[in-house]
A = this chain, B = another copy of it.
Amino acid sequence: MINKNSPIPIYYQLEELIKVLIEKGELKPGDALPPEREYAEKYHISRMTVRQAFTDLVNEGYLYRQQGKGTFVAERKIEQGLQGLTSFTEDMIARGLKPGSKLVKFEMIPASSQIAGQLKIAEYGPVYEISRIRLADDVPMALETNYISANLIKGITEDIVNESLYAYIEEKLNLRIVSATQTIESSIASQSEANNLNIKKGSPVLLIQQNTYLLDGTPLELVKSVYRADRYKFIVQMKR
């Protein structure tokens, strides 16, 4: 079960092993896991290594610990798109919907002061503005506009946007997206938003602005989205 000569870290192998037990239902919510010392002995590994695996699973919400009592399987995690940073595509798939996209604008423009401030670039610096109607099961779900500094991300084409912008950024440019701040507010559709989303003017919409950051805190992009309230709810999981 555990291969000590594998290049995959032992603690990681143990995490996967425990996750599988939970997903197969052999460990049910509320069940106590075997104690750390027992795992250490069984697999001939150090207790600290077992603890590293357990700690990760606690942080991911699979387990919880109680001093003096033991380690237990947590209630089933909410299977939602929002336990972390996800793209529209990932979000829709997690919700069981077929994602789609229709490009409505793809331009390079000078940054307004508001956008330049958020992206921490010079005012009037070049940014890509990419507007897309986002579809779920072929019905409009949201109107999404991305702003990305053209100096940071060079060589974007329409083809890349139609494929996957995130995959291009992460795989081709080797930039790691690690965090984001989202601001969510309630609003009412303007005439042009209503036209794009195929709803009536004045219908309620969810306005989401996302700032995305790289590992060192450099702003990568700004995304402004308008979601149809009748089709979309935002879900967040929080820990104390």
Contacts and interface: CB of A to CB of B under 8 A. Distances in A.
Interface residues of A, number: 47
Contacts of A85: 238-240
Contacts of A183: 233-235
Contact of A238 (B84, B207, B217): B84
Contact of A181 (B59, B184, B232, B235): B235
B181 A78 contact: yes
A29 interface: yes
Q: Specify the main secondary structure of chain A where it touches its partner.
A: strand
B177 A217 contact: no
Contacts of A75: 213, 216-217
Contacts of A206: 184-186
Given A216-B30, A238-B85, A239-B179, A204 B184 contact: no
Given A29-B217, A215-B64, A215-B66, A182 B235 contact: yes
| Shortest 10 CB-CB contacts between residues of A and residues of B | A75-B217, A186-B229, A186-B186, A184-B234, A186-B204, A186-B206, A185-B233, A85-B240, A182-B236, A85-B238
